[in-house]
Structure 1
């Protein structure tokens, strides 16, 4: 059975939109400037900035106006409590399953947070498994996390595809294991010079469909 390795944040789910909504509520609740949402999104960097660094930046900017427990709750649960699985992605995943693909989510992050997203959105029922970097001790693009993903379902990496939005974590990761890849561009230009994706798609549903419909 062919193996399709799928990124979670900003690929299967719109993590940034969910976090932005949480940030907006946080700023209003604590009477902080609402226009600071853009600043906080920049600091967060799509979830790639370590949680402790984001917390320090928020405390430095707001001091006692941003209580520690509230900041921790924002970073721990803000996105996880709000992510949704879009209809087109749900349909594309169901098609991939029907077509015989083995689907495994490969995500960086903290296990509790990422598994909350997977279960809350129903992705646990639409995939065969997942690996989270905290649980396996390796982050994308390290080859070990992709090997761990394949091992969870007992499928080799020969013929595998990787779909993700990150040129570094996902596409470079695919190159590192000799897999083909689809980059979810979301309208962005490709600017990397060290490696390139096998294909580019404007959105995740299109990316999945492109592999299922024409795997070669």
Structure 2
């Protein structure tokens, strides 16, 4: 069974990695400003690097390189996620990462955490020329995983529109990683499963299938 999974803030704790880099580079007192500027990862990296360089000085391109490298260095394997992926494969799932971002950065995260050895593969938006929530990225990922779409498959992620909305529109069952948030009001769809963290959400998907 196809199990498509988001990367940032689902399989890896991107928020913690960014805060760790921000604190180590600029000091704890600057973390709130840096978190606000980051917009939970949705500010374009080039624009964020420009903001940081403008505030603290330095070259924008060098800051972008440092930002990306620092994020990866702050990541570490999550034993709970690793165990959930191993159990998913044992239960007949084909775990496959679907993520927006650059190929070099997202692959560096996968290798840093060892997730590259625990999933069947990955589809990264830069590499295929289409981003979530576009249905085509889910189709491309399913084809790469060797599984039909939807065929009882799942999409698991933390973004209500890109992951849950996109997955639902592609005909997949969906699971949302809440991370302490309430489901946004006004959306015409809801996830079949909601969990507090990526690990908990994956476990709930296994139990629901």
User: TM-score w.r.t. structure 2 length?
Assistant: 0.93
Which residues of 2 match residues 41-56 of structure 1 at below 5 A?
41-56=35-50
- The alignment partner of 2:122 has SS state of strand
- The alignment partner of 2:73 has SS state of coil
1:163 to 153, 156, 167: 156
Match of 2:174 in 1: 181
Gaps of 5+ in 1: 29-33
C-alpha change, 1:68 and 1:146, in structure 2 (3 Å) is same
Moved more, 198-207 or 133-142: 198-207
- The alignment partner of 2:18 has SS state of helix
1:174 Cα shift? Answer: 1.1
1:210 to 200, 204, 207: 204
Which residues of 2 match residues 1-216 of structure 1 at below 5 A?
2-28=1-27, 34-62=28-56, 65-68=57-60, 70-157=62-149, 158-194=151-187, 195-215=189-209
Residues of 1 paired with 2:110 and 2:171: CA distance?
A: 27
Q: Give 4+ residue runs of structure 1 displaced > 6 Å after superposition.
A: none
Q: Is the 8 A contact 1:108 1:139 kept in 2?
A: yes
Gaps of 5+ in 2: none
Superposition RMSD in Å: 1.4
- The alignment partner of 1:80 has SS state of helix
User: TM-score w.r.t. structure 1 length?
Assistant: 0.90
| Number of residue-to-residue matches in the alignment | 207
Q: Is the 8 A contact 1:133 1:139 kept in 2?
A: yes
Deviations 1:107-147 (A, max 9, x none): 11110000011111111111100011110111111111111
1:156 Cα shift? Answer: 0.6
Residues of 2 paired with 1:4 and 1:52: CA distance?
A: 31
Match of 1:31 in 2: none
Q: Is the 8 A contact 2:103 2:126 kept in 1?
A: yes
Residues of 2 paired with 1:159 and 1:172: CA distance?
A: 16
